[in-house]
Amino acid sequence: KAGVTQTPRYLIKTRGQQVTLSCSPISGHRSVSWYQQTPGQGLQFLFEYFSETQRNKGNFPGRFSGRQFSNSRSEMNVSTLELGDSALYLCASSLLGQGAETQYFGPGTRLLVL
């Protein structure tokens, strides 16, 4: 099976702009989680989607949002970008998103905000 894919891989934006990142899970996986990775804060959970519904949410401002489509592909959107949003954004997929399931990560989208 193909692994988790993310597009684009790299992105440069300026403050105040918005950005949309895409994640395609492993075929058959219905849960997609998003994480932000920065050198200072490590890997932080953003949100999780299952069957087109947000099931869990981390402690990020409302500028961070997401959605999931009927084919399980997911997008996340960041509006009004700030310098501190520069990070590697990783998505991970699992079969049903239950606690004891393995999550498989995509290669990430590296976002630079200038």
Partner 1 sequence: GENVEQHPSTLSVQEGDSAVIKCTYSDSASNYFPWYKQELGKRPQLIIDIRSNVGEKKDQRIAVTLNKTAKHFSLHITETQPEDSAVYFCAASIGNTGKLIFGQGTTLQVKP
Q: How far is the CB of 85 from partner 1 (least distance, A)?
A: 19
14 vs 52 by CB, closer to partner 1:
52
Least distance in Å: CB of 70 to partner 1? 19
The contact set with partner 1 (CB under 8 A) reads 31, 33, 35, 42-45, 48, 50, 55-56, 58, 90, 94, 96-108
Q: Is 83 helix (H, G, I), strand (E, B) or coil?
A: helix
Angle at 42 between CA 66 and CA 112, to 5 degrees: 60
User: Of how many residues is the chain composed?
Assistant: 114
Q: Give the DSSP letter of residue 96.
A: S
